[in-house]
Amino acid sequence: MQLNSLGFPRIGRRRELKFALEKYWRGEITQAELREVASELRRTHWQWQTAAGIEQVPVGDFAFYDQVLTLSATLNAIPDRHRGEGAIDLDTLFRVARGRAPTGQDAPASEMTKYFNTNYHYLVPELTQNQDFSIAYEQFFDEVSEAQALGYKAKPVLLGPVSYLYLAKTVGQEFDKLSLLPKLFTAYADILARFAAQGVEWVQLDEPVLALELDTDWQAAMTETYQALSTANVKVLLASYYGGIAHHQALVSALPVAGLHLDLVTAPEQLAVFANALRSEQVLSAGVVNGRNVWAADIDLIAERIGAVARDLGDRLWIGTSCSLLHSPVDLDVEVKLLPVLRKQLAFAKQKLLELSKIRQLLLAPNSDEAQKISAFCIARRQAKAQAADKQVIERVAALTTADYERVSDFSVRQRGQQQKYRLPLLPTTTIGSFPQTPAIRGLRSRWRKGEISDAQYTEQLQQVTRDTIERQLKLGIDVLVHGEAERNDMVEYFGEQLAGVGFSKNGWVQSYGSRCVKPPLIYGDVSRPKAMTVEWAEFAQSLTDKPVKGMLTGPVTILHWSFAREDISRDAIATQLALAIRDEVVDLQNAGIGIIQIDEPAFREGLPLKQSEWQTYLDWAVNAFKLSAAGVTDETQIHTHMCYSEFNDTIAAIAAMDADVITIETSRSRMELLNAFEDFEYPNEIGPGVYDIHSPNTPSVEAMVHLIEKAAQKVPVRQLWVNPDCGLKTRTWDEVEPALKNMVDATRELRRRCIGTREMNRNIG
């Protein structure tokens, strides 16, 4: 009975990869030094996994930026604008991801979007009609050799060809992506042959696309692909996760693969379905430990649930995590300040591997003394959790009525009142919220947390940063200002630190994209807001100017999705508790004189179930959570929301139902393609399509932003348009931000000059 690791986090338990990458991008270390950091991380992670009982260590789960991008490089599927003159190398990958690298020329970065229903972002492959695929980058094979040289048995892990093609976008002439499939699986066959030549026994091909409700063409693609790969001299473990695949049971069970991995956390009921259809030579990998959360598994209940299948399959049952541990923090051992009651409830990536070992122990020796101790500990932990409920929060949720979810008047009435109050110009400019978190700001926060400076000193210095931020925006001529969020570490963590029922780790970092890591809050109990969280800073910023300053909040759905949320109550119940806490803050901001309030929901679409048939249930409660958070204010208070890196076509009706007065969205990387949804739907409220890609260090020109705004005006009436960056600016430097925002304001002014008085503009305005 093997233990199966589908993949391990690559950032390091103290974010070693992040810091090495950023030093390399700044030119402070060589590529050789960067590679040495990466090699040391791989060695450490393989050693941990082997020590936990993993017989085949995953290889290919490591990436310098993104595993999908690494695969694109391997397949020679790099856009021409990023290639340069030589072979594909590491700097080529950074040009694709960032728009430039230390040794490369500027080039627009490739589109980045959420990986299925996670908060991880991948680089979208760009494929042309005449796309050829061939092995052009050696990282996968080099790392197999590296693992073998260290004495480990390597199991390469790659995104499967059908999922890769599904996630890609077509560029140039329109064509059917599936027409590229024969070329693609031929290249995969070459990759598998290379692995076989290296002595690899098993290769894991991930096909999370199977959790979707695929149409017949994509189902046929799955069959065609795995028939074509069946002659490879390696054993293929077909892995799917993030959802159940029982709706494709007949298709999947007929595929000629040596093993199948199932996510039994999101869909435990599919175990019996596939176990009964398993062929006599096939292995079943049971993903029973949640790879996307931090809560310690109920390993006694897991062992009981899979006990019968374990007895039937014997050595043909592997025990694993539900998916790659990419979405989990690395190591609980480095957490030294957690509350003991919280520590007992947690398991990070390293500890989840040990949970797999304990599950195997319970299955093999269920009556041993050690097994009895494990079961008793699990029961006591569940009992302690149930006794910690907050009755006041539960009663407040139960007392909600329909009226609590609705604004006083509809949007057309609110819009007139807001226009009269704020007198904003055509195409009002704003930013999304945060401004650069400079080394000085981070150092200040670090000294404060260590007790090296007092609360008063910390506040005084942050107030000076806020003054500077307001002055810079005034000088630039931005219409609706923000205070810059210098006091905030992360848009979710900052709020979680001030909410009851939420805890924190010190090193519980997970990768969001590239070197960007987040430390999600731990929602372990019923959530409430003991006191105001942002009002003091908003009031201070507003006191510095007559221009409106937005109050900046993170919405309940995003806090939920970007936290590690408890698993003993439903997600919609947690969202409702969070919405009430945010509602209290919104009302307090309004009462303090803040008339424009932004409630960010960048994770709104991320929460969609993978099966479209299950979407409406999610959308209903997600929309209600946002409305509950925003509905406590008067008509004149303008509610904004922000969304980024999402496809909007399928959710546009739900976004409209949120009834935000203004929505700002990411659109620059897609060249305004994402606005098609708002054009076709005739979105009724106001929209701020992003014209500045903040994830690239490149400074967009005035002409480029004018072009994007003009494209937006072709899809949305100008009277509904705002102008803003794609996202917050905390990860950029002032040297990058100020020129870009100056160009943004200049572009807006140029368009105002061009448009005012023209017949087309008058028609759009009127």
Q: Are 482 and 431 in contact (CB under 8 A)?
A: yes
| Cβ burial, residue 238 (10 Å; 0-12/13-18/19+) | buried
What are the φ/ψ torsions at residue 72 (nearest 5 degrees)?
Answer: -60, -40
What are the φ/ψ torsions at residue 517 (nearest 5 degrees)?
Answer: -120, 150
Q: Are 740 and 725 in contact (CB under 8 A)?
A: yes
Amino acid in position 296:
A
How far apart are the C-alpha atoms of 207 and 226, rounded to whole Å?
11
Q: Are 729 and 694 in contact (CB under 8 A)?
A: yes
Q: Is the dihedral of CA 211, 212, 215, 218 positive or negative?
A: negative
How far apart are the C-alpha atoms of 388 and 327, rounded to whole Å?
27
Q: Are 17 and 11 in contact (CB under 8 A)?
A: yes
Amino acid in position 246:
A
Amino acid in position 644:
C
- The structure tokens listed for 559 are 């806090």
Amino acid in position 578:
L
Which member of 45, 483, 695, 707 is catalytic? 695
Give the residue among 288, 285, 276, 283 at the shortest CA–CA distance from 257: 283
Angle between helical axes of 455-476 and 439-449 (0-180°, round to 10):
160
3-state secondary structure of 266: coil
Burial per residue of 500-524, b for 16 or more beta-carbon CB atoms within 10 angstroms, e otherwise: ebbbbbebbbbbbbbbebbbbbbbb
> Residue 516 pairs with which residues in a beta bridge?
513
DSSP 18-59: HHHHHHHHTTSS-HHHHHHHHHHHHHHHHHHHHHTTBSEEEE
Q: Active-site residue 695, yes or no?
A: yes
- The structure tokens listed for 322 are 């539900």
How far apart are the C-alpha atoms of 629 and 577, rounded to whole Å?
10
- The structure tokens listed for 474 are 């005034």
Give the residue among 178, 182, 262, 188 at the shortest CA–CA distance from 219: 178
Radius of gyration of the chain (CA): 26
Q: Are 289 and 356 in contact (CB under 8 A)?
A: yes
How far apart are the C-alpha atoms of 319 and 353, rounded to whole Å?
10
How far apart are the C-alpha atoms of 153 and 417, rounded to whole Å?
68
Q: Are 636 and 590 in contact (CB under 8 A)?
A: no
- The structure tokens listed for 524 are 């372990």
Catalytic positions, written as ranges: 695
